[in-house]
Amino acid sequence: MKIHEYQAKELFRQYGIPAPDGAVATTADEAVAIATKMGLPVVIKAQVHVGGRGKAGGVKVVTEKDQVKSVAEKILALTIKDLPVRKVLVTPAVVIKKEVYLSILIDRGARAIVFIGCADGGVEIEETAKTHPEKILRHEVTATECAKLDKAKLLPFASKLFDDPKQAAAAADMMVKMGKLFMEKDASLVEINPLIVDDKGEVIALDGKMMIDDNALFRHDELIGYRDMDSEDQDELDAKDAGLSFIRLDGTIGCMVNGAGLAMATMDTIKHFGGSPANFLDVGGSSDPKKVVIAFKMILKDPGIKVILVNIFGGITRCDDIAKGILASMQEFNVPVPIIIRLVGTNEKEGRALLEGTALTTVTSLEEGAVKAAKIGSLT
């Protein structure tokens, strides 16, 4: 789950990370009321879950009181990267002397938690990573130490971002707090871009971005209210409601599998034979044929699908129920791509018998299915 800048900043302040105050408005009049109370100049910032709001006209410094209304109106009317701006953050403007990038995230490739820093902040870090990879600094920490980091150990890293020793010390202190926040909220990312130095030499988080692990939300009642449905994938939410785990990917082979481990093994096998999965889909342990119909609908919403591979290892799941679900799907809507089915385990014979005489391709091993799917999936 992504959270908004104003929400991230609320958490920053709770953890002692300096971030400018502010209030959120949903109308231009509310923005005026906030700015009047706060005093000018203010910055009005679109609250949408995308980067590069500044470039898109979603971040404006306003110095004149009579301009707050029109600027807020303009920003509230924007759609940035397909997301409507429904809220703006009105926050005191600060003088920026220096902009730095600082984040903590899970680096799956390195199997580590890592701080990423760059002395040239403010701009999109992905660009700098491409053009000047040597400017991107890393500092790995272990999960055990992350909640209680040692400031002294972080100082060398912070000193590469800030020449001034006082500012480096402030940044190191901030990193300790970021580590604690990251662990305690089950985040996969805490990003400050820019982390700035103001005209008094203070180090302040001027922007904030956080991602929370969805699977940990059950233990964060305090964060549930932060969810913004605008930026959730509707299919993934529908799948969750139906008791399916569904993640969209960008390949051509739709996958329907029972069990998360088997789903991953299926995706690996498809990759191994040169194919690319279009989704991760775990239909779960039960075998309600209705779930299979919903699963097909989800998969087929993707226009890039060229073939569907059904891989069922029946334990609690009964193969005949899956077969019934597949047949019901074929009746309910025209499935425009070939379906390759591997059904083994409980009631395998009954399942196969139901599919006999149909146009469906059945296979007896995952390898055979993956090879066939990869072949069709890579046709252009």
Under the binding rule (CB under 5 A), the answer on residue 191 touching Mn ion is: no
| First-to-final CA distance of the chain | 35
Q: Which stretch binds ligand GDP (CB under 6 A): 92-100, 304-312, 320-328, 363-371?
A: 92-100
**Total residues in contact with ligand GDP, by rule CB under 6 A:** 17
**C-alpha closest to that of 207 among 72, 45, 60:** 45
Based on its alpha-carbon atoms, the radius of gyration of the chain, rounded to whole angstroms, reads 25
For residues 190-219, which are near ligand GDP according to CB under 6 A?
193-194, 206-207
Beta carbon nearer to ligand GDP, 17 or 43:
43
Question: Is 15 an active-site residue?
Answer: no
Binding mask 198-237 for Mn ion (x = CB under 5 A): ---------x------------------------------
Give the interface size with Mn ion as a residue count (CB under 5 A). 2
Across 29-120, where does the E strand assignment appear? 42-46, 59-62, 79-80, 83-84, 88-92, 98-107, 112-118
Contact range with ligand GDP by CB under 6 A, out of 27-35, 88-96, 134-142, 309-317: 88-96
Q: Choose the catalytic residue: 5, 6, 99, 101.
A: 101
Instruction: Give yes or no for a contact between 168 and 93, defined as CB atoms under 8 angstroms apart.
Output: no
Smallest gap from Cβ 86 to Mn ion, in A, equals: 19
102 versus 335: smaller Cβ distance to Mn ion: 102
8 A C-beta contact, residue 335 and residue 373 = no
Q: Does 193 bind Mn ion (CB under 5 A)?
A: yes
Q: How many whole angstroms separate alpha carbon 158 and alpha carbon 195?
A: 12
Q: Is 122 in the site for ligand GDP (CB under 6 A)?
A: yes
Nearer to ligand GDP, 49 or 324 (CB): 49
Choose the binding region for Mn ion from 90-98, 171-179, 192-200, 325-333 (rule: CB under 5 A).
192-200
Residue 374's SS3 state is helix
Question: Contact between 75 and ligand GDP (CB under 6 A)?
Answer: no
| Rounded Cα distance, 4 and 121, in Å | 19
Exactly one of 5, 191, 226, 348 is catalytic; which is it? 191
Q: Are 310 and 327 in contact (CB under 8 A)?
A: no
User: Do residues 12 and 181 lie in contact, with contact meaning Cβ atoms separated by under 8 Å?
Assistant: yes
Could you confirm whether 99 is annotated as catalytic?
no
Exactly one of 26, 54, 160, 228 binds ligand GDP (CB under 6 A); that residue is 54
Q: Decide: is 93 part of the binding site for ligand GDP (CB under 6 A).
A: yes
C-alpha span between 174 and 104 (Å, rounded): 11
The CB-side HSE value for 39 (13 A sphere, CA atoms) comes to: 2
3-state secondary structure of 279: strand
Report the distance separating Cα 318 and Cα 313, nearest Å. 9
- The footprint of ligand GDP (CB under 6 A) covers 43, 45, 51-54, 59, 61, 93-94, 96, 99, 122, 193-194, 206-207
Give catalytic residue positions.
Answer: 101, 191
Can you give the binding site for Mn ion, defined by CB under 5 A? 193, 207
